[in-house]
Structure formats: C-alpha cells, structure tokens
C-alpha cells in the first residue's frame, strides 16, 4: 500500500520538496530531527531528514514520505493536517501509517507494512526544517510516531520524531 502511495505522489510536489533553498546562518539542530527506531521483526533506525517530503492536500490532509536511503524503508503518513494526535489506524479501519520495505533476500522483495495501532502526532505544520548538515532550511512539518505495524513478516514497533520538507 505504501508503494502505491509513493507512485501516486505528485511529481512536482516531490521535486519542489527536494528543491531546497539555502538560507544563510541556519545552525544545525541539536541531534537528528528524524530519529525513528524500529524494534521487533525489523531492527532499523532512520535518522536522515534530507529526503523526507510532505504536503498538505486539498482536503487538508498531511501526506508525508519518510525514508533513509541507506535503510531500505519508505514510510507514508496520511493524517489530518492539524497539530495534535492522530490515530495510526483510522476509525474506519484504514492505516494512516504504512511502510514499504525492500528485502532482497525474498523472491518478492517488496514488503508492505500497515499500522495496527498507536499514534502519529503532528507537532507543527509550519516550522523550519534544516538539512541534516545544517547548511539550509525549508518550511516543513515536525511530529513523532509511536505505533505498531504488521506485515507477513511479523510485527514491529516504530517510535521517535520525524521531520519533513513541505512542498509548495
């Protein structure tokens, strides 16, 4: 499911999110702005924010793509574009947090993960999000995740803060 969302992300939104404008005098944030820790069936940590992008769509939903190119996971968040707590699993049963993992040891290397419970908290939808090296900053969103996910490979827990660069 996450892979489908990646394919349907508006190309211009994604490009705009990556076309970062350098601003002088931006100091590096204390520690990583994204520090997602996975425990359970997968043990990975995502600490990069540079490739993370997000946008607010016409229905006021925050759509975020979180990834660390070295980790092999692509997280998709689709929650209301408002500050506060949002369920990782919506009341109608659809996951608002999904992940595509690439496992090259399998015949079908794409593994889809979906939230089974927990919370996605949006802390800000209009703040400065620095590049990991502190060299530039864009308007962005900050939040944190505390959720459980499952796939045919088992279950895992993901927790920690995330940052993404807003398109547009």
Decide if 150 is inside a domain: yes
CA distances (Å), 127 to each of 5, 76, 86, 164, in order? 25, 20, 19, 10
Pairing relationship of beta strands 154-166 and 137-151 according to DSSP bridges: antiparallel
**How is 44-56 classified by DSSP, letter by letter?**
EEE---TT-EEEE
pLDDT tens digits, one per residue of 131-164: 888 888 889 999 999 999 999 989 999 999 999 9
Decide if 83 is inside a domain: yes
* Greatest mean pLDDT range, 60-69, 111-120, 135-144: 111-120
In this structure, of 8-12, 50-54, 95-99, 158-162, the range with the lowest mean pLDDT score is 8-12
Q: What is the pLDDT of residue 30?
A: 59
CA distances (Å), 99 to each of 29, 136, 148, in order? 26, 28, 11
Decide if 81 is inside a domain: yes
Residue 63 tokens, joined? 């759509």
Indicate the pLDDT class of residue 94, thresholds 50, 70 and 90.
very high
Structural domain harbouring 52: 2-16+32-166
CA 162 – CA 102 distance, rounded (Å): 21
**How large is the average pLDDT for residues 27-47?**
79
Number of domains present in the structure of the chain: 1
CB atoms within 10 A of CB 83: 16
**How is 91-134 classified by DSSP, letter by letter?**
TTS-BSEEEEEE-TTSSS-EEEEEEEEEEEEEEEEEEEEE-TTS
Q: What is the pLDDT of residue 68?
A: 80
pTM, entire model: 0.78
- Max Cα–Cα distance, the chain, nearest Å: 48
């Amino acid at each position: 499911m996450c892979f489908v969302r990646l394919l349907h992300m508006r190309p211009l939104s994604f490009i705009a999110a990556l076309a970062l404008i350098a601003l002088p005098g931006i100091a590096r944030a204390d520690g990583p702005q994204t520090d997602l820790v996975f425990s359970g069936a997968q043990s990975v940590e995502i600490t990069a924010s540079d490739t993370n992008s997000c946008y607010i769509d016409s229905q006021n939903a925050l759509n975020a793509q979180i990834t660390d190119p070295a980790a092999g996971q692509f997280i998709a968040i689709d929650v209301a574009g408002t500050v506060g707590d949002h369920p990782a699993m919506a009341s109608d049963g659809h996951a608002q947090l999904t992940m595509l993992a690439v496992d090259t040891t399998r015949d079908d290397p794409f593994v889809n993960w979906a939230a089974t419970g927990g919370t996605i908290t949006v802390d800000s939808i209009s703040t400065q999000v620095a590049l990991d090296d502190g060299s530039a900053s864009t308007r962005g969103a900050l939040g944190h995740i505390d959720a459980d996910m499952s796939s045919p490979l088992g279950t895992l827990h993901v927790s920690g803060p995330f940052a993404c660069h807003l398109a547009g």
